[in-house]
Chains A and B, each alone.
Chain A
């Protein structure tokens, strides 16, 4: 067969199957990248978690030893786990707080647009900067926070971040700051889309204040609430930057969370314990998996409705 004929044939094969083939041609680079750097590593982590490995030499198969050590009374793991729970629960406060600020700002007075952007703007800062800003805010004795609470006679020994009882909460507050801003912007956009006729109709029926908010406005804000919920949960479980910058896990390891503990074990100064780190990451992954399944299920349901 001459090359010309072959070319003709391939072209016609391509032409005949153009609609079936094109999406795959467009998908290949994306899928390739995503598999190599995201999908496959998830499974590799599972594999590594059954080994003892310093990141350089041979991996030594240890079965479930890492998990046994982890769940069999590793105090650092317990602290990290419960701190993660605290993060999850308290971080969700960003949603009502964001809604509150959004309601406060949802007016049309002069200059309100600038106010909205300035309220939102903590979210644009990197978590490292927010962490640093708050750690100076919390400085013992000289920090503005200590000065202010000093006026009402509260004295936190060692400063907010130096005291094991308050450190985690101090960091969570720092994290809530940008997260609330994010939820606020979601709700502000959502409030824009609220059907004014329904509001007017409800008003004629005598609904106002809380009742109005609960029965008329909130149901219409459902998409915004869903996204706020998704990003807040993910944000809470990903919290790493704040802890690394503000306390580096201390004081006395009281602010560790799973993501931080995992990092610490894998790249610790006393030799890399990649296997143990991977096991912690797997636990974190399973914690997340429940939420991921729920998110995917909701999105899938919307997808079915859209058809």
Chain B
């Protein structure tokens, strides 16, 4: 009788597939980066508008909440007929959409937490609305906005893997390979370990960036 021992890590597979692993990792980073940056580019104006015109706030967050509830897998395959079944665009559109709720909510929370006295002082010092927004309100909202970017980044990195259904899942491609393997699960192990590690490293880098961006918070402690 042939007994197949399952293997979780076979280093020779890793050594033979370094190019493939590197390509998966690079695609994973690229997709995550594009999704979070595009999401931020949309969320900043959306959040600022929702604070300026309060009536926009509920509909914007509600629409983003409903979008957020759509399963990524379902959304990716539903985009297929229009953006192609095996394209990066099909993967990146849902990824951008899912960051919006987290990012917009944190932009709104951060801006609204700026004390009224601070706003009045800035106005009293002769700051116009736009200058007050960029020089006073946004800098004070940075910690909350970065907190949102961290959550969005970590969840996006995890979510990219679902892109395997469109052939562009970054490390998700390795996990998919592992799913179809019966003896050697090395691709699965490599995909999971690298994607979790990537999320943790990105989170640590963003925390560091926040400390560098807001030196006054540490000085006050």
- Chain A complexes with chain B: no
